[in-house]
């Protein structure tokens, strides 16, 4: 298997029903997805024991919850939810939100 190279901007996908996850890389150790949220869409607050998650905003801005805090994270900003911390995202704007999301180790 050769080196996989992905045109991230060409991989954006949206769904009118709910947040769209687009898998870019998926291994036994981690995953790397695009989260594409239309205005008003959410990733419900949840947690993963034993896995850390990183959110990097490529386009737009969203309200990100990590633990008991909620902050607006904007284009070119990055944040992380450590293992066991509650986390989620709300696109509270009227623009599309696109995030690059990494999680490791990958949950079982």
pLDDT (tens digit, 9 = 90+) per residue, 7-17?
A: 999 999 999 99
Peptide bond into 105 cis (omega under 30): yes
CA distance 30 to 50: 12
pLDDT (tens digit, 9 = 90+) per residue, 37-49?
A: 999 999 999 999 9
pTM of the complete model: 0.94
CA distance 70 to 83: 17
CA distance 55 to 19: 15
Residues near 108 by Cβ (< 8 Å), separated by ≥ 6? none
Q: In the chain, what are the domains?
A: 8-104 (2.60.120.10)
């Amino acid at each position: 298997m050769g080196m996989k190279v992905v045109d991230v901007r060409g991989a954006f996908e949206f769904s009118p029903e709910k947040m769209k996850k687009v898998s870019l890389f998926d291994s036994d150790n981690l995953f790397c997805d695009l989260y594409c949220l239309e205005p008003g869409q959410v990733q419900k607050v949840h947690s993963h024991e034993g896995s850390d998650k990183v959110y990097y905003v490529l386009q737009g801005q969203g309200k990100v919850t990590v633990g008991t805090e909620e902050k607006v994270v904007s284009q070119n900003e990055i944040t992380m939810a450590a293992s066991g911390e509650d986390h989620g995202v709300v696109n509270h704007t009227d623009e599309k939100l696109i995030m690059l999301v990494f999680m490791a180790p990958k949950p079982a």
